[in-house]
Structure 1
Amino acid sequence: MNLSSMLAARNAQNKPVRVGLIGAGKFGSMILAQAKHIAGYHVVGVADLNPAKARESFKRVHWEDERFAAKSVSDAYASGTTYITDDAAELFAFDGIECVIEATGHPIAGIRHALAAIEAGKHVIMVNVEADVLCGAWLAQKAREKGVVYSMAYGDQPAAICELVDWVQASGFELVAAGKGMNFCPHYRYSTPDTVWGFFGWSEEEVRAGDFNPKMYNSFTDGTKAAIEMAAVANATGLDCPDDGLAFHPSGLQDLANVFKPQSEGGQLARAGLVDIAASREPDGRVVLNNIQYGMFVTFRAPDEYTRACFQQYGLLTDTSGWYGSMWRPFHLIGLETSVSVLSAVLRGEPTGSSTRYRADAVATAKGDFAAGDYLDGEGGFKVWAKAIPATKAAAIDALPIGLAHHIKLKRPVKRDQVISLDDVEIAADQDIFAMRAEQKRLVEG
């Protein structure tokens, strides 16, 4: 609760927190939008493969031209302005940058960037959840060895869920479940980039008028992003994914504690200690009353009768028994809040959630029957969706992570809803990433 005062003290000593950002897309733009309003928070450099597009992002979020006109990283450092480059290595090599935010959304690039930043002795804020699920536990281990912080990005849902989990445990309640809301029906699972806009109710004219990426939106629609984020939460908190993937239980705010408790207690969970999704639609498409589509939640149990009575006395939303309660956050503002992670890492040496274990994975699962020789097209595409399952199960079948399922060739046929294994595909590139994955598998927790 004292990050702002800690930052003010540093700024008074003329020691601003100095940051490098990789990726100037939507998330990066939101980071930049707030950065200019935070005294003592200096974005020294921004790396993007398309510098011209990065400059457009600065303009879109109302930066004056002179504020991002630095000629080099050292020029930006000295003048308090920002340098734009197409080479992220410039940020790693510059000693004045304390923390790097990885916001590219590309899982393989994200891992390489994070590792390079850690080896350069810089804290890493990993916006790129796809990269985090691929190798986050291994990267976190590398960060600890170097004495730096590897953190989830505050403002994104996994970090907010971790904060709620921490609140439950620090308060002495019994953690039961954690998750997020999502607009989901079972048939959404097989959505493709060609059909996705129908699920949003947008006309062709509205889509043409906007800057929309169909694969990105489809990854939200078909449940892939949910699997990635919930696997990351499991790896950060020690909770588990359900054995057969997320169930997407429909639930409104008033029903969270009734739904997200064990079946033995009248709920929908196979057992306590799981992550899952509160779907905002019923299986028939009806909108759930008081749904938490943009929110995050935890459910927990009172440890004794006295605490149970307090739940009632202070208006906590509970199940019908009064033993189980829920807490939620109704929104998340993604990049607008990510400075909290940067300041926590630099000023406190603490992450806002970190995948410190390999407990869950998001694995590629076929959307249809495909033949040997077909190419998978990754997250949000036509061929695969991601299933969140325990790491023990993923490791046992050598499952193909969703982050490595882009433009990879099948060497034998697969059936709809089949989890694809490494034995099913030809591995021809990115050998370094597969080697890192092998290292992560050694960290599997049962």
Structure 2
Amino acid sequence: MNLYSLLAARAAEGRPVRVGLIGAGKFGSMVLSQAQRIAGYHMVAVADLDVSKARTSLERVGWPAERYAAKSAGEAVREGTTFVTDDVAAMLACDEIDCVIEATGHPIAGTRHALAAIEAGKHVVMVNVEADVMCGPILAEKARQKGVVYSMAYGDQPALICELVDWARATGFEVTAAGKGMNFEPRYRYSTPDTVWGFFGWTDEEVAAGDFNPKMYNSFTDGTKAAIEMAAVANGTGLDCPDDGLAFPPSGLHDLARVFRPVADGGRMARSGLVDIAASQEPDGREVFNNIRYGVFVTIKAHNEYSRACFKQYGLLTDPSGWYGSMWRPFHIIGLETSISVLSAVLRGEATGSSKEFRGDAVATAKKAMKPGEMLDGEGGYAVWANAIPATRSLSLKALPIGLAHHVKLKRPIEKDQIVSFDDVDLTADLDVVALRKEMEESDRPAQVSAAAE
């Protein structure tokens, strides 16, 4: 609880924390909105393929034009201003930048950016969960070898869930389950970019008037984003994905401890120690009362009668037995909070959540039956959704991670709801990232075998 004090001390010494941002979309805009208000926190450079969009983002969140008029990263460092560029390499070449925030949302580009930043000796805050769930464990290991921090982004749900799990374990409780709230119904699973707006209840006119990305919204709707985030949490905490994927049990706040306890004790979890989603919709579409759609939670178990009594005495929301209780955070405000990760990495040398092992995977699963020659179109598209399964099962199936399922041609027929394997597709592009993923699978395989044996 001293990040602000540490930052103030550095600022007083004339050594601000210097930051680079890759990706000036919604998340990046939220980062920029707060960056201008934190004394001693200097956004040296903002990189985006569309420089005009980056400038528009800065203007939208209230930056005066002169503040982002620097012609180079070096000038920005000297003048205390910001350099806007489409050249990530130019950003990474600036020795004074301490930490890079990767917020593109593109799994291939994000993996390459993280590798390059690590090689340049910079801490990495990985907003890009799509890249993290695909290659995070090996990126974290490469960062450790280089002496820098590779971190999840505080404010996004995976990091906040990891924080709750860490709190529970540091206070001596068994973690029964952890996850987040989300708007989900089973029929959403096969949503496409053409049908997604109907699930939001928006008209064609409303969609046309806004700046909405149908694939991004569809990724949230069909459960893909949930699978990506929960597999990342598994990798960061040592919890497991359910064997058959996320179940999305509906649950409101007062039912968290009842639902997210083992089946043997009356809950919905196959066993203790799993990640899953608290759906805010019933399967028939009714809204769950007192749902936690925007929040995160952890369910814990008391280890003796004394702790159980304390749960009741201090108002913890418990199951009927009183043995299980849930702690939650009702909101997350994503990029508005991400400076916590940057400051933790630079000032403390600590991550706000980081992939420790390859334990969970988000794998491409067919939305429909497909024939050889048809193309997979990745996250939020028409062809596949992501399922969160244990890494041991993913390895045994040779499952294709959702991050590698973009613009890929099938060479074998696939049935609806079938997990797509590496053997089912013809991978001809992005082979450097494919090789990194394979390196991770091989290097982490012994740990997975050991974990399965336990």
Query: TM (normalized to structure 2)?
Result: 0.98
Q: Which residue of 2 aligns with 1:154?
A: 154
How far did residue 287 of structure 1 move? 0.5
How far did residue 102 of structure 1 move? 0.3
Q: Which residue of 1 aligns with 2:346?
A: 346
Q: Which residue of 2 aligns with 1:7?
A: 7
How far did residue 211 of structure 1 move? 0.5
Residue 245, structure 1, aligned to residue 245, structure 2: yes
Residue 186, structure 1, aligned to residue 186, structure 2: yes
How far did residue 270 of structure 1 move? 0.3
Structure 2 distance, partners of 1:118, 1:177, is 33
Q: Which residue of 1 aligns with 2:298?
A: 298
Structure 2 distance, partners of 1:94, 1:434, is 29
Deviations 1:188-226 (A, max 9, x none): 000000000111111111111111000000000000000
Q: Secondary structure at the match of 2:30?
A: helix
Q: How does 1:53-132 map to 2 (within 5 A)?
A: 53-132=53-132
Structure 1 distance, partners of 2:300, 2:379, is 32
Structure 2 distance, partners of 1:248, 1:329, is 18
Identity score, percent:
72
Q: Which residue of 1 aligns with 2:444?
A: 443
Residue 429, structure 1, aligned to residue 429, structure 2: yes
Structure 1 distance, partners of 2:282, 2:4, is 42
- Segments of 5+ residues of structure 1 without an aligned counterpart are none
RMSD, aligned α-carbons: 0.5
Structure 1 distance, partners of 2:165, 2:90, is 37
Structure 2 distance, partners of 1:167, 1:440, is 29
Residue 330, structure 1, aligned to residue 340, structure 2: no
How far did residue 368 of structure 1 move? 0.4
Q: Secondary structure at the match of 1:250?
A: coil
Q: Which residue of 2 aligns with 1:358?
A: 358
Q: Secondary structure at the match of 1:167?
A: helix
Deviations 1:323-377 (A, max 9, x none): 0000000000000000000000000000000011100100000000011000000
Structure 1 distance, partners of 2:61, 2:382, is 33
How far did residue 260 of structure 1 move? 0.2
Q: Secondary structure at the match of 1:249?
A: coil
Structure 1 distance, partners of 2:303, 2:94, is 51
- Segments of 5+ residues of structure 2 without an aligned counterpart are none
Residue 369, structure 1, aligned to residue 366, structure 2: no
Q: Which residue of 2 aligns with 1:230?
A: 230
Q: Secondary structure at the match of 2:116?
A: helix
Structure 1 distance, partners of 2:432, 2:203, is 43
How far did residue 440 of structure 1 move? 1.0
Deviations 1:276-325 (A, max 9, x none): 00000111111001000000000000011100000000000000000000
How far did residue 443 of structure 1 move? 1.0
How far did residue 91 of structure 1 move? 1.4
Deviations 1:19-78 (A, max 9, x none): 000000100000000000000000000110010111000000010000000010000000
How far did residue 93 of structure 1 move? 1.1
Q: How does 1:133-144 map to 2 (within 5 A)?
A: 133-144=133-144
Structure 1 distance, partners of 2:399, 2:432, is 18
Structure 2 distance, partners of 1:149, 1:356, is 12
Equivalenced residues, count: 446
How far did residue 187 of structure 1 move? 0.7
Structure 2 distance, partners of 1:209, 1:241, is 39
Q: Which residue of 2 aligns with 1:381?
A: 381
Amino acid at match of 1:361: D
Residue 262, structure 1, aligned to residue 257, structure 2: no
Structure 1 distance, partners of 2:435, 2:208, is 41
Q: Which moved more, 1:195-204 or 1:241-250?
A: 195-204
How far did residue 397 of structure 1 move? 1.1
Q: Which residue of 2 aligns with 1:204?
A: 204
Structure 2 distance, partners of 1:43, 1:217, is 29
Amino acid at match of 1:146: K
Structure 2 distance, partners of 1:50, 1:101, is 17
Residue 36, structure 1, aligned to residue 41, structure 2: no
Residue 411, structure 1, aligned to residue 429, structure 2: no
Q: Secondary structure at the match of 1:420?
A: coil
Q: Which residue of 2 aligns with 1:399?
A: 399
Structure 2 distance, partners of 1:95, 1:194, is 45
Point out 4+ residue stretches in structure 1 off by more than 2 angstroms: none
Q: Which residue of 1 aligns with 2:163?
A: 163
Amino acid at match of 2:423: D
Amino acid at match of 2:339: S
How far did residue 92 of structure 1 move? 1.2
Q: Secondary structure at the match of 1:343?
A: helix
